Amino acid sequence: MGSCVVFVSYIAVLGIVVALGRGVEGARAFFVFGDSLVDNGNNNYLATSARADSPPYGIDYPTRRPTGRFSNGYNIPDFISQAIGAESTLPYLSPQLNGQNLLVGANFASAGIGILNDTGIQFVNIIRIYRQLQYFEEYQQRVSALIGPQRTQQLVNGALVLITLGGNDFVNNYYLVPYSARSRQYNLPDYVKYIISEYKKILGRLYEIGARRVLVTGTGPLGCVPAELAQRSGNGECSPELQRAASLFNPQLVQILRELNSEIGSDVFIGVNTQQMHNDFVNSPQQYGFITSKVACCGQGPYNGLGLCTVASNLCPNRDEYAFWDAFHPSEKANGLIVQQILSGTTEYMYPMNLSTILALDSKN
Ligand SMILES: *[C@@H]1O[C@H](CO)[C@@H](O)[C@H](O)[C@H]1NC(C)=O
Ligand SMILES: *[C@@H]1O[C@H](CO)[C@@H](O)[C@H](O)[C@H]1NC(C)=O
C-alpha cells in the first residue's frame, strides 16, 4: 500500500519533468514493438486466433471492457506511458490513430509473433516483426506529411521505444509440439544462439530507422507460467526445459545489447531483466501482495493453465491477488510492479541504467 502511493506520486513528478523537457509535442513519443505482452489491440483488426477482445479481458480496465490487451486492465506499455506523462499509445491499426494522435506515438505489437518469421504460424494473420518495422517507416511518412521531415526526425529520435520478443520463439515454436521442426534442426543452446543473432539484426534495423532509446525486455521465467505448470509439471515445480531456455536466452540478450551499444558508441539499448522481476513474484508472492504466483486468475484445469481465458473460465474475485491474469500473461498488478522496477530498479534489474535515470538524462538534452 505504502509503496503504491509513493509509486503514483513519483510518476506524477516524472511526468512534469519530462513535459518541461519537451517542446511543442508535449510528452515524448513512445513506440512499442513485440508480442502479446505489449500488444494494445492490433490483433483486434486481424483474422487471427491470438486475440484478447472478449470478456473477461479488460474487466479492470477503466471502461471495464476488453481492449485487445492481454491483461485484466493495463499492460506494461500503459504504465510506461503514465510514467512519461503521456496517454496510452493507440494500436497502429486503429482507425483513431490519425492527426494529432499520431504525435503520441504508436503501438505496433501483435500477439503471437516472435523473433523468427516461422514463430506463431498457427495464428495465421499476425504482424511479424519485420512488418512492424515497415509500419514504423510508414508511420514516419504519415507524421512527416503532418509536421514536416525535420520535426518528425526529432520526434522519432527523441522517443522512448519498447520491444518485447523471444518468449514465443520457445513456447509457440521450438516447444510448441514434440519434435518441432526447429527442435529437430537445433539443440537448445544452438537455437538460442540463432534467435539471438536474428534479434541483433532486428535491433540494428530499429536503430537504422530512428530509434535512439530502446527498452529491450528479456523473457520471464518461461517454465513457471501457469500454462507450463499445467502441461509439463506434475508437482508444481517450474518446467526445467523452459527455465533452461530462459536462462540461456537472457544473458546472451544482454551481451548483444552491450555489443550494439559499443558499436554505436552510446547507450541506445537498455536491457530489462524481466526474468529477475518475475522470479521475485514466483519466489515470494506474499511480499508483493499476491496469494499465488502459480495459479492464473482466469482459466481452467490445473493452475487454471489450460486453454484460453473466456467467459466460461474460472475467474478469481480479486485480480490484484494474482501474479498471473491468464495462463501466460501477468495481471495488471504485476505489470505495474514490473514497470516500477523498470523505473527505479538497480542494475540487477536494468542494464546499464533504469528508466528514471534515462528520463533525467534525456530531459537535459
Ligand atoms: C524474415 O522475413 C523478412 C522479410 O519479410 C526477411 O527480411 C528476413 O530475412 C526473414 N528472416 C529470416 C530469419 O528468414
Ligand atoms: C534507479 O532509480 C532510482 C530512483 O530514481 C535511483 O535513485 C537509482 O540510483 C537508480 N539506480 C540505478 C542503478 O541506476
Handedness of CA 54, 96, 149, 16 (dihedral sign): negative
82-114 residue pLDDT tens: 999 999 999 999 999 999 999 999 999 999 999
The structural domains of the chain, with segments of one domain joined by +, span 2-272
Q: For cell 532486428, what's the residue?
A: 202
Q: Give domain 2-272's CATH number out of 3.30.70, 2.60.120, 3.40.50, 1.10.150.
A: 3.40.50
The set of catalytic residues is: 36, 326, 329
For residue 128, pLDDT over 80 is answered with: yes
* Top mutation candidate among 6, 350, 357, 358 for ligand 2, by most atoms within 8 Å of CB: 357
Average pLDDT of every residue of the chain: 92
Ligand nearest to the CA of 197: 1
Between the CA of 236 and the centroid of ligand 1 the distance, in Å, is 38
Between the CA of 202 and the centroid of ligand 1 the distance, in Å, is 10
* Top mutation candidate among 3, 354, 362 for ligand 2, by most atoms within 8 Å of CB: 354
- The predicted model gives 132-139 an average pLDDT of 98
Percent of the chain scored above 70 by pLDDT? 93
The reported pTM is 0.92
Between the CA of 30 and the centroid of ligand 2 the distance, in Å, is 22
If 0-12 CB within 10 Å is exposed, 13-18 middle and 19+ buried, where does residue 10 land?
A: middle
